[in-house]
C-alpha cells in the first residue's frame, strides 16, 4: 500500500548528492573504490554503486523510452520518500539505495549525461509534485 502524502498536504521530497565520478587511485597508489560512484541520500546515508553495477544499470537505462524512464523515476522516488518518511533506522537500506540509484541515474540520463564516467559533482532534488529528479551542478 502506498502512502498518499496529498491527504496531509505534504509533498514528499529528498536530495541525492554526488561528488562526481571518481576513476582515480587512492593516495597510496592502490585502487580505492576505483570506478565506483558514491552519493549521499539526504544527510543520513552514504551509498556507493560499484563499477560493474554502475555500467550494467547505465546500459539498462539506455533502452528505456522517455516515458518508461519517467514512470520508473516516479515509482522509485515515491518509494524512497516513503522509506525516508518512515525513518532509515528501521528501513531496508538495500531498497533505499536501489531506489536512490534509479532516481539518480535516470536524472543523469535525462539531464543529458552520455557516459557514467562523466557524471559531475551535483545534487539531484526529487519532488513528489512532478515525480522527477532535478539536477543542480556542483555538490
Read off the DSSP letter of residue 125.
Answer: E
CA distance 55 to 37: 10
Residue 16 lies in a domain: no
> What's this model's pTM, rounded to 2 decimal places?
0.82
Q: What Rg, from alpha-carbon coordinates, does the chain have?
A: 15
Residue 74 lies in a domain: yes
Count of other CB atoms within 10 angstroms of residue 51: 16
* First vs last C-alpha separation in the chain: 34
pLDDT tens digits along 89-104? 777 888 999 999 999 9
Residue 133 lies in a domain: yes
Residues 6 or more apart whose Cβ sits within 8 Å of residue 58: 105, 109, 115, 116
CA distance 108 to 86: 27
What's residue 128's pLDDT? 80
pLDDT tens digits along 110-121? 999 999 999 999
CA distance 112 to 60: 16
Number of domains forming the structure of the chain: 1
Residue 12 lies in a domain: no
Mean pLDDT of the chain: 83
Across 49-69, average pLDDT: 92
Residue 9 lies in a domain: no
Q: Range with the lowest mean pLDDT among 24-33, 65-74, 126-135?
A: 24-33
Domain that holds residue 106: 39-137
9, burial (CB in 10 Å: exposed 0-12, middle 13-18, buried 19+): exposed
% of the chain beyond a pLDDT of 70:
83
CA distance 126 to 106: 12
Amino acid at each position: 500500500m502506498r502512502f498518499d502524502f496529498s491527504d496531509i498536504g505534504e509533498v514528499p521530497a529528498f536530495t541525492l548528492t554526488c561528488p562526481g565520478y571518481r576513476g582515480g587511485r587512492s593516495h597510496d597508489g592502490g585502487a580505492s573504490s576505483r570506478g565506483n560512484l558514491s552519493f549521499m541520500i539526504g544527510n543520513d546515508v552514504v551509498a556507493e554503486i560499484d563499477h560493474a553495477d554502475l555500467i550494467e544499470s547505465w546500459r539498462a537505462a539506455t533502452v528505456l523510452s522517455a516515458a518508461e524512464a519517467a514512470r520508473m523515476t516516479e515509482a522509485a522516488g515515491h518509494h524512497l520518500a516513503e522509506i525516508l518518511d518512515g525513518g532509515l533506522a528501521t528501513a531496508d537500506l538495500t531498497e533505499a539505495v536501489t531506489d536512490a540509484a534509479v532516481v539518480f541515474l535516470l536524472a543523469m540520463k535525462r539531464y543529458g549525461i552520455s557516459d557514467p564516467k562523466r557524471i559531475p559533482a551535483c545534487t539531484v532534488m526529487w519532488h513528489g509534485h512532478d515525480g522527477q529528479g532535478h539536477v543542480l551542478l556542483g555538490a
